[in-house]
Structure 1
Amino acid sequence: MPAEMDTSEDFLPRLDLDMSFDILMTLGDPCDLARASCVSRGWHEFVISNGLSKQLCLKMFPQLYGVDRVTESCSFKSDGETGSSNTKEWDILEREHRVYGFLSHCARSIVDRECISDAISASSTDNFPEEGINNTLEIRDRVGRIASYWSSKGQKNPAVPETLIYKLVGDLSVITEIDIQPFKAFFQRGSPIYSAKSVRFRMGYSKASLDLDSVDQSCHISPNDKFVWTYTSPEFPMAQENCLQKFKLPKPVLCIGGFLLVELLGRMQRQEMDGLFYIWLVCTLLSL
């Protein structure tokens, strides 16, 4: 090594802005980006001034592009505090660095668990409450000697869809997988399985405050009139099998608002006694 080379020299100032930005954005882990910001004062200022924590978080969760501004509940400074415009701008950048960095880190550190808290509404129910949507919160297909499942109303047209609406445990959740189990009617001849042909998922928030205690599950809540859906999944085929079927999302999804819409598309099984097509489900589970 040449004697004149300074091994402690910071190479970042020698690179142009775009190259430095591209290099640091290859750090896909928020922890690595946090470590990079601690290398030196110059690196720290570069990460904050260019909003790299925010950019990484938006790359992980595009649903956050609609966020206008962020706040901290325990911030020592407010936006209205006096000071130069440069100081205020830097305070905003620092706040975004902390908030988006914390959110990205939490999303990578989550523990896998089920996170549906309430069943809100079904587009139809054959016999309420015996075959209501609340039964899908129970993972077993029998409670004691009683069958536990949700049943749609019967339809002559097998293409008629059904929807189920759920509330998640929090208003901000990262969802990776949704599991559904079709019901096998063991009490009918041939034990038919009433699955859907395919399923699609939407996530979002309610347009107005929704009092869950006052929701009448016997009445259908329109998913488009009452909610804004910020994420729509691909359509997944559903097997006509009595097992817990796992539908893994292409990438983790940040659900802002805490509501899930399950769209059941098409019907596979005709009921022998009335000749109509139904969808029956045992349970719906979400994984963080």
Structure 2
Amino acid sequence: MDLGPGRRAAPPRFVLRGVSEKNRQGKRGAREKLAAEREKQRSRDKRRRALIVGASVVCVLGLAAVIGVVAANAGKDDGSESAGPVVAPSGAQGKDGLAIPVGEESAKSTLTVWEDFRCPACKAFELAYRNTIHELTDAGQLKVEYHLATIIDGNMGGTGSRKAANAAACAQDAGKFPPYHDVLYDNQPPETDDAFADENKLLDLAGKVDGLDTTLFQECVKNGKHNSWVEKSNKAFQNGGFSGTPTVLLDGKNIYQDRSMTPAKLKQMVEDANK
């Protein structure tokens, strides 16, 4: 249509409608795409939460299983107990005759030691305190009561703790407990190595103690004469509420848990008690 000079015709309306419709479709498509992305993100978040919760449950169940196995095995040996009578070693004292005494009965201080011959921490204690303990017992100032346990047999498997303890009790029968006790720790195998389950190993070590490797000692070791006594001692340890081996008590006070304890401090405490 001719509108005269200087005037232009308006664009056809159908063009505007077309552009408007295209914009609306574009916006609707963008909204739908955004909604779809949000839904995908929600789905991913949901799966992630499910995986985290699932993993946490697995970890808790796994930890519970481990704790259950450790608790079930704690304090056991090879799963069987000796059926023989409880035969205490010569000179055993204390409740139920479960303590092997070393030192003068008249000593004013008593050191109670719960130990396992397969226990690395027990060896560490022995090597650190042995000379001081020997000095004090030889001087008549300290009496030591040794109690034998078999917790490593239960935790690691095997029978080495029990057989070594039986052999030590056999050495007590022969009046050779202190030196054989020290030989066992000096030759302690790695914790995972049940070498003490081999009776020949225990007999070979007896050769390091003058006068111990006798026929009587060999029969005592091979026959497991004191096995039931060892098992009874281990049960007393379990029922005692102790946290582990070694447990070391000086006149009833747990000194092994005292981080400031040293051989020199132990010696001073015993000497003060004897003044």
Give the greater-gyration-radius structure (CA). 2
> Normalising to structure 2: TM-score of the pair?
0.25
Q: Which has the higher strand share?
A: 1
> Normalising to structure 1: TM-score of the pair?
0.24
Q: Which has the higher helix share?
A: 2
